Amino acid sequence: MTAKAFSGMMLIISLMVLILMSAATAEHYVMQIGSKSNPNAHLFSYDQKFRESTNLHNYPMNMSASKEFTDATRLSTRMQLLALPNLTEMTIDADFIGIGRIGYLVLDPETGDIKDEVSRINHMFVGNFSIEEKIIVAKDHMCECGYLPCA
């Protein structure tokens, strides 16, 4: 082996040992997040929006009900659904900041055609809301508590 080849091999071995030693002695970096009281924490911001939707179809009654929340920065909902051949009940409790849509559509029970609407109700909320909505559609009777008087 020539002196030039030997010195080249020694250089490569020295570099490998140096890399292994520096990797073994290097401190592992742990990123701390999210605390204003911790001076080592990295503060970051993000834009998070919530979305939720539910559609209920009661085919024997030819009706549908829906709720949808979009672009919500805060969203907390609770819902109860009941669908029977002669009764549909939808109870919604929601607390949100964003856009909310609640509504129902009742078609003529004889034809079921979209052209023969019996009732169409749509509510749209934009902003900060806390709502309690109860929609009841029974055969030959409609009731919405919260906006229209319920009998």
Q: Can you read off the two tokens belonging to residue 20?
A: 């292994």
pLDDT of residue 145: 58
Evaluate if pTM is beyond 0.75: no
Sequence-distant (6+) residues with CB within 8 A of 48 are: 73
Strand order in the sheet with 117-138: 50-58, 63-84, 87-107, 117-138, 141-145
Measured CA to CA, the distance from residue 146 to residue 36 in angstroms comes to: 43
Of the candidates 92, 87, 105, the one whose C-alpha atom is nearest the C-alpha of residue 134 is: 92
Q: Which of 20 and 15 is assigned the larger pLDDT?
A: 15
52-61, 67-76, 77-86, 108-117: which has the minimum mean pLDDT?
108-117
Give the confidence band of 147 by pLDDT, cuts at 50, 70, 90.
very low
Least confident of 4-13, 39-48, 78-87: 39-48
| Cβ contacts of 33 within 8 Å, gap of 6 or more | 41, 42, 43, 44
Section 45-71 average pLDDT: 86
Dihedral class, residue 73 (left if φ above 0, else alpha if ψ from -120 to 50, else beta): alpha
